[in-house]
């Protein structure tokens, strides 16, 4: 009798686990049908969309080839928006590819509706219902206002069509199963007033993806208590680079920065935009898109600074170029002997 009870218990457990697995494996991401909106191409929207696309949310950064032999990885002009295959060194669970988002009808998104584009940007669901890999920061873009996302779509429709086929993203199991929980419908998102620097700064930090790069993560989850404290390690073909602490900690973050110091940090790179960025080695290689951020409006950078200074200070000392710094330490040690 006991053996039968145990056997039935095992069968029920196996059956329950099988049902749970089948649900996770075959389920679709949370989604709603794309809206039927047709975005009106106004002059104001085109200007705002270009600004967000190139300077704030940096869609152009991830969806274009970049020349990382030069400081800041400038965009390769003839490949703007045509997609990018991310290096295997970054350690993603599979092959991650940003798609061609130019209006080319065969290889880009020229046949997508405005509603399908908006859903992909803010909700992480592709035209065919697939879950987009969360490297695409749609969990932050979910908070992008309706008017701002309309502006981005308007600008995207003006990009030069580029005929370039990109391979599909292929995420390894079981991550491919778990990422289906990432998409969520955005609904209606009202605008954030620019008259409140803290609120608007928070908005810009959110749709700019600052938290994603400047918060260390373990197994894909942010480390508790380290929000914006830097330490996210990026392994690249050039070597490792680590994100900076941007909390107001006075010793390891931006606590000693004045507003003007913060602005100067960005604006110093305007000369590279005007004259062309120099070649770089491991000592100054960076994934931080200084060449794009340095062209942000001064008022927007001030709002970002105000918001960052209002956040909890976290002590977290970061070596931004660990391999190079290790080499320099060895050279210093050898010269002292």
Rounded Cα–Cα distance for residues 186 and 143 (Å): 7
Same domain, yes or no: 115 and 49: yes
Same domain, yes or no: 171 and 251: no
Same domain, yes or no: 235 and 295: yes
Rounded Cα–Cα distance for residues 4 and 316 (Å): 57
Rounded Cα–Cα distance for residues 85 and 308 (Å): 32
pLDDT of 179 reads 93
The pLDDT profile of the chain, 337 residues, written as one tens digit per residue, is: 665 545 444 455 444 444 444 444 445 676 889 999 999 999 999 999 999 999 999 999 999 999 989 999 999 989 999 999 999 988 899 999 999 999 999 999 999 999 999 999 999 999 999 999 999 999 999 999 999 999 999 999 999 999 999 999 999 999 999 999 999 999 999 999 999 999 999 999 999 999 999 999 987 789 999 999 999 999 888 778 999 999 999 999 999 999 999 999 999 999 999 999 999 887 788 889 999 999 999 999 999 999 999 999 999 999 988 765 554 444 444 444 4
Q: Are 45 and 150 in contact (CB under 8 A)?
A: yes
- Domain hosting 80: range is 40-189
pLDDT of 16 reads 44
Which backbone phi and psi does 204 adopt, to 5 degrees?
-65, -40
Same domain, yes or no: 163 and 217: no
Is residue 26 situated within a structural domain? no
Residues 6+ apart with CB under 8 A from 81: 59, 60, 63, 64, 100, 101, 102, 108, 156, 159, 160, 162
Rounded Cα–Cα distance for residues 72 and 55 (Å): 13
Same domain, yes or no: 224 and 328: yes
Q: Are 124 and 32 in contact (CB under 8 A)?
A: no
Same domain, yes or no: 87 and 145: yes
Q: Are 153 and 109 in contact (CB under 8 A)?
A: no
Picking from 147, 165, 189, the residue at the C-terminal end of a domain is 189
**261: cis peptide before it, omega within 30°?**
no
Q: How far, in whole angstroms, is CA 252 from its chain's centroid?
A: 24
DSSP 300-321: HHHHHHHHHHTSPP------SS
Quick one: which H or E segment has residue 97? Answer: strand 97-98
Query: In total, how many domains does the chain have?
Result: 2
pLDDT of 309 reads 98
pLDDT of 28 reads 63
pLDDT of 240 reads 86
pLDDT of 27 reads 54
Same domain, yes or no: 48 and 124: yes
Same domain, yes or no: 213 and 178: no
What angle separates helix 146-156 from helix 43-51, to the nearest 10 degrees? Answer: 90
pLDDT of 17 reads 42
User: Residue 233 pairs with which residues in a beta bridge?
Assistant: 242
Same domain, yes or no: 272 and 303: yes
Query: How many other CB atoms sit within 10 Å of the CB of residue 93?
Result: 16
Query: How many other CB atoms sit within 10 Å of the CB of residue 147?
Result: 13
pLDDT of 230 reads 96
């Amino acid at each position: 009798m006991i053996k039968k009870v145990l056997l039935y218990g095992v069968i029920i457990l196996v059956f329950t686990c099988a049902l749970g697995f089948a649900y996770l494996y075959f389920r679709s991401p949370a989604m709603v049908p794309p809206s039927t909106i047709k975005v009106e191409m106004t002059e104001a929207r085109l200007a705002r969309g270009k600004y967000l696309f190139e300077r704030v949310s940096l869609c152009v950064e991830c969806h274009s080839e970049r020349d990382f032999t030069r400081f800041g990885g400038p965009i390769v002009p003839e490949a703007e928006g045509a997609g990018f295959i991310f290096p295997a060194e970054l350690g993603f669970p599979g092959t991650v590819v940003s798609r061609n988002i130019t209006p080319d009808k065969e290889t880009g998104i020229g046949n997508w509706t405005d509603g399908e584009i908006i859903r992909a940007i803010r909700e992480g669901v592709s035209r065919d219902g697939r879950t987009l890999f969360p490297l695409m920061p749609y969990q932050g873009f979910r908070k992008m206002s309706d008017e701002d996302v309309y502006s981005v779509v308007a600008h995207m429709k003006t990009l030069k069509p580029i005929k370039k086929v990109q391979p599909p993203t292929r995420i390894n199991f079981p991550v491919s199963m778990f990422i289906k929980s990432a998409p969520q419908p955005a609904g209606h998102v009202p605008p954030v007033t620019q008259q409140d620097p803290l609120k608007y700064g928070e908005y810009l930090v959110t749709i700019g993806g600052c938290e994603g790069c400047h918060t260390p993560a373990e197994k894909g989850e942010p480390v508790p208590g380290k929000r914006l404290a830097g330490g996210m390690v990026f392994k690249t073909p050039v070597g490792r680079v680590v994100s900076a602490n941007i909390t107001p900690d006075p010793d390891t973050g931006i606590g000693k920065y004045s507003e003007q110091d913060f602005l100067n940090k960005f604006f110093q790179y305007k000369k590279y935009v005007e004259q062309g960025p120099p070649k770089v080695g491991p000592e100054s290689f960076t994934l931080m898109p200084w060449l794009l951020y340095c062209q942000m409006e001064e008022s927007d950078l001030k709002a970002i600074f105000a918001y960052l200074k209002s956040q909890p200070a976290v002590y977290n000392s970061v070596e931004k170029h660990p391999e190079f710094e290790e080499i320099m330490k060895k050279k210093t040690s050898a010269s002292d002997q």
